[in-house]
Amino acid sequence: MSCNVPKSDKKRVVIVGGGFGGLKLAQKLKRSNFQVVLVDKNNYHQFPPLIYQVASSGIEPSSIAFPFRRLFQRRKDFYFRMAEVTGIYADEKIIQTSIGKLSYDYLVLAAGTTTNFFGNKEIQEASIPMKTLSESMGLRNALLDNFERALTCSNPQERQELLNIVIVGGGATGVEIAGALSEMKNFVLPKDYPDLPNSLMNIYLIESQPRLLAAMSEKSSANVLKYLRSMGVNVLLNQRVTDYKDHIVYINDGSTIATRTFIWVTGVSAQSIANMPSDKIARGNRILVNEFNQVEGMDGVYSIGDQCIMPEGDAAWNGGHPQLAQVAIQQGNLLAANLKRLEKGKPMKPFRYKNLGTMATVGRNKAVAELAGMKMGGFMAWLMWLVVHLRSILGVKNKLIVFFNWMINYFSYGQSLRLILYAKKAKEVTDREERLAKLHGVHKA
């Protein structure tokens, strides 16, 4: 195995991670004088804002995932490599990947974040995260399997555990999945499971801070709390989950909740590279960059998006920018321009985040949005949420399919996507993964 990227007269930009930041950078380098290599462990770009709808069977994964090879068809001097990055040798300008070494002139680390279990191995093993498409499909399967088993469970205690859903984390993801599951409870389950008492199904949303959506205004937090409670979600504020053992969630005030669907969406940690010097790492495992997204002291190394933190320069965000799509996209955009400037001997421009606003949706006609100083709630915010997210999905066909699905759900919740379906992994793939893991010390999940 090798990365097998042909040599070129042009300088090589290696982008690690094809999320919002990495993808934007790769697209903006289109007519540049660089050879571009995009490395990602998946063969597709995914659209995180709608992953919760995949989990709740609202849309299909293919509607919010876009194969890189298709996105970059016919692009000159561009190479996609499906691999994981495991090491960096900045002096030699080489990275180690799961399929071999790769040299670079410029390296851009844009691998984003992963779920943070805060060191609790038991929670890590038994909880269901929802950060990736693969995880959201796993959650969908587990939810539906638990409903099927609740129906045929003769032990009342176990049945209650199967019907209780506990979501930990009251950020946008937690709020959105709580809303989607509550709509499932209220509109889908009574039809699909008429012999399952709906009243037995309880949804808990646990947040350690005094309010939901702490990154938004108090008004939006209050709105979201009101929406969720009106939909029957049990929102617990100022409560911290301390453990999860034998289907019991332990909370720091001494109370417990029994559940077999324990969804962990609280906090993220930046993806790490094993041999990254520790003085380059700051809070949340994020890579320290200067206001040009440069990793200082490592020649030609940059980091953008959720994986980096920029402690200085942008006065309004001294604690680091929020880990949002917009920051990554704007940094990807600017870095593309800066790399071109650098090649022409021009000075780079520092990053200044332009806050385009934030929003979260809870259910039909229920959302909150904060844009350009305006705070909105209810139907208008919900409509705006739909438009903004539909606009951001890549491809006309995908926009149409998602819109079509949303309309069906809006009028009838009548989607028929509730399949429990696992892909059978071929032995050849399993064998290869083991072989590569031995060779390069990584295992592709």
Smallest separation (angstroms) from its own copies to the CB of 193? 7
Between 82 and 237, CB nearer to its own copies? 82
CB of 13 to its own copies, least distance (A): 18
Q: How far is the CB of 363 from its own copies (least distance, A)?
A: 21
Give the nearer residue to its own copies in terms of CB position, either 138 or 267: 138
Q: Answer yes or no: are the C-beta atoms of 304 and 335 closer than 8 Å.
A: yes
Least distance between its own copies and beta carbon 198 (Å): 14
Q: Shortest Cβ distance from residue 297 to its own copies (Å)?
A: 31
Sequential DSSP letters for 296-347:
TTSTTEEE-GGGEE--SS-GGGTT---S-HHHHHHHHHHHHHHHHHHHTTPP
| Closer to its own copies by Cβ: residue 188 or 308 | 188
Number of C-beta neighbours around residue 408 at 10 A: 14
DSSP strands (E only) in 156-247: 164-168, 202-206, 234-236, 241-245
* Minimum CB distance to its own copies, residue 137 (Å): 4
Nearer to its own copies, 126 or 390 (CB): 126
Helix, coil or strand: residue 283: helix
CA 209 to chain centre: 21
- Smaller CB separation from its own copies, 196 or 225: 196
Smallest separation, CB 417 to its own copies (Å): 5
Smaller CB distance to its own copies: residue 337 or 390?
390
Nearest alpha carbon to residue 109 among 280, 232, 326, 252 = 280
Min. distance of Cβ 218 from its own copies in angstroms? 36
As measured in angstroms, the least distance from the Cβ of 445 to its own copies is 7
User: Looking at beta carbons, which pairs linking 315-321 to residues 24 or more positions away fall under 8 Å?
Assistant: 316/353, 317/353, 320/282, 320/283, 320/284, 320/286, 321/353
**3-state SS assignment for residue 82:** strand
CA angle 366, 51, 111 (to 5 degrees): 130
User: Which residues have CB under 8 Å from 78's CB, separation 6+?
Assistant: 26, 35, 36, 37, 38, 72
CB nearer to its own copies: pick between 265 and 368? 265
Kindly list the distances between the CA atom of residue 346 and the CA atoms of 104, 341, 353, in Å, as whole numbers in the listed order: 21, 5, 22
- Compare residues 354 and 424 and give the one whose CB is closer to its own copies: 424
Q: Are strands 268-270 and 11-16 parallel, antiparallel or unpaired?
A: unpaired
Q: Which residue has the tokens 């920029």?
A: 310
Tokens read off for 75: 């692009």
Least distance (Å) between residue 396 CB and its own copies: 11
Measured distance CA(178)–CA(165) in Å, rounded = 9
Task: Report how far residue 352's alpha carbon sits from residue 294's, in angstroms, rounded to the nearest whole number.
Answer: 14
Tell me whether residue 101 or residue 340 sits nearer to its own copies (CB atom): 101
Strand ordering across the sheet containing 366-371: 358-363, 366-371, 374-377
Nearer to its own copies, 214 or 420 (CB): 420
